[in-house]
Amino acid sequence: MKYENILQTIGETPVIKINRLAPEHVEMYVKMESFNPMASVKDRLAFAIINDARQSGKLKEGQTVIEATSGNTGIALAMVCAVLGHPFVATMVETFSIERRKIMRALGAKVILTPAAERGSGMVKRAEELADQHGWFLARQFQNPANPEYHANTTGPEILRDFAGEKLDFWVTGWGTGGTLTGAGKTLKSARPDLKIVATEPEQAALLSGGDWSPHKIQGWTPDFIPEVLEKDIADQVIPVNDDESIKTSLALAKSEGIFVGISAGATVNAALKVAETADPGSVLLAMLPDTAERYLSTPLFADINEESDDDWLKSL
């Protein structure tokens, strides 16, 4: 299949059945957003925001784009900007993975790091300051309605097509900007009012559950504020998940299902497994998997993965 550019390959990501990790009394599926060209769900958001801004005239030809990002949005925006001829600048908290910085820079972006003590709010404020100072276009992923609208028009309909004429009882997703939850959630709920939408978030930063924010290991999830685009009433249930359990689930997906995904994906499946515990026999669940594990090589996800030769294993045979 031929395409005019890489942007045309965004979306239409596959839904895959979980065969070994899912409890026997339910069917569990995952939607693999790592099949997007830059390997995350944020490719959708990035294209949506830039395309909308160009069409409306808010973004001029050759104008610099800037955004605050934990990494995946920045990588996606760097790709879109490279294709369409816009310089891109990312502001990012210094604790996010080194891989993300390098990928953005490989795509031609500049990366401005902000202090960890300033949290997500700090990187957002820095992006706003630089946009005002230099006349750059600020993407505003946490506020821009083009974000959930694109999910409403692509992610949601893709799921409905994949489950046309079939059961789907639960849809489970995490939240970062809230675009996926809000946009796709609206479309799914409109078409299937009986579908239960489950949002999940870190135990350490369970803002939708009424908790306080504290640092957590699930990069891309839950900044220290609830984004404007997130509509909390879309979710029928909110399930906080544990960091360490989520990491174990990510590794279990790789070892048991051959599905190589990041911590946020493990966290979402962790929540789906909790839903499955009390789900009626025959229930069908779908979990959103946001990105690839290759984005986490320097994080706790790989902390216990051996880099040396497996000589000791060989000797034990």
Can you tell me whether residue 208 is helix, strand or coil?
Answer: coil
70 included as an active-site residue:
no
Dihedral pair phi/psi, residue 128, rounded to 5°: -65, -45
- Say which DSSP state 233 is in: G
Handedness of CA 119, 123, 128, 130 (dihedral sign): positive
- Say which DSSP state 182 is in: I
Report which secondary-structure segment, H or E, holds 121: helix 119-134
For 37, residues 6+ apart whose C-beta sits below 8 A from its C-beta are 6, 7, 9, 10, 43, 79
How many Cβ atoms sit within 10 Å of the Cβ of residue 242? 17
In the set 31, 34, 40, 42, the catalytic residue is 42
Asked if residues 221 and 267 have their Cβ atoms less than 8 Å apart, the reply is yes
- Residue of 177, 186, 194 whose CA lies nearest to 154: 186
Strands (E), 21-74: 27-32, 65-68
264 included as an active-site residue:
yes
d(CA 263, CA 247): 6
d(CA 200, CA 235): 9
d(CA 294, CA 97): 11
The owner of tokens 């004429």 is 165
State the Cα angle at 73 between 71 and 76, rounded to 5°. Answer: 105
In the set 34, 97, 246, 264, the catalytic residue is 264
Question: What positions carry a catalytic annotation?
Answer: 42, 264
